[in-house]
Amino acid sequence: MVEKFQVASLEQIGKLLGDTDNGFTGSEIESLFKASGIMDPGAITKWRRVSEGLEAQQLNDKCANNVIGFIEESMKPVRYLKAKEHFEHLRNDLNIILSLEGFAIDKSGKIKRTEQTFNLDDATQRANSLKRKLKERNTHSEVYRFCTAEILEENYFHAIFESSKGVAARLREKT
């Protein structure tokens, strides 16, 4: 059983997943609630709908298990077949919020326990430290295209491996 998330975390998750420009549509939110077994609070703004639905479910369950189920449902990689960058961006932003609760989303869209952060600087740094190091070294933008997931996970070996595969693919494209 997962302890309850802070209400502020649920609100931020709602704002992220219900964002007008980059979040889910109203019908997608309805589908996510159904798939997660969460009662849909109805016709209110999308972010409030997500936030209030998750908060009500958490209060009812006295735990965050269904909240995690909803996030995992929303982060299934199959939903992002043609939007890998969007998946990684959303995952990175969710990981900042979730790290304050002691969790992180891996590249398969599953939530795992991790060491909890206690401030925004540490949460953001955890989500972005490898990327920051690469930017400091003036890494070519094409590298990010091929290994974003590995960078976010700070998986150095696989980031280099995916980058070198990307360089080979880029050479094939150019020739």
Task: Give tens-digit pLDDT for 69-128.
Answer: 999 999 999 999 998 888 988 998 999 999 999 999 998 999 999 999 999 888 877 767
Paired tokens of 162:
């995916």
pLDDT tens digits, one per residue of 4-27: 999 999 999 999 999 998 899 999
pLDDT in tens, 129-167: 666 667 777 777 777 666 666 665 666 677 778 778 888
Assess contact for 62 and 69: CB atoms under 8 A.
Answer: no
Strand partners, 104: 112
- What pLDDT was estimated at residue 95? 93
3: which residues sit within 8 A by CB, 6+ positions away? 63, 64
Whole-number Å distance between alpha carbons of 23 and 111 = 19
- For 8, the token pair is 């502020």
Which pLDDT does position 137 carry in this prediction? 74
pLDDT at 123: 83
Q: What pLDDT sits at residue 130?
A: 64
Check residues 160 and 38 and name the one with the higher pLDDT: 38
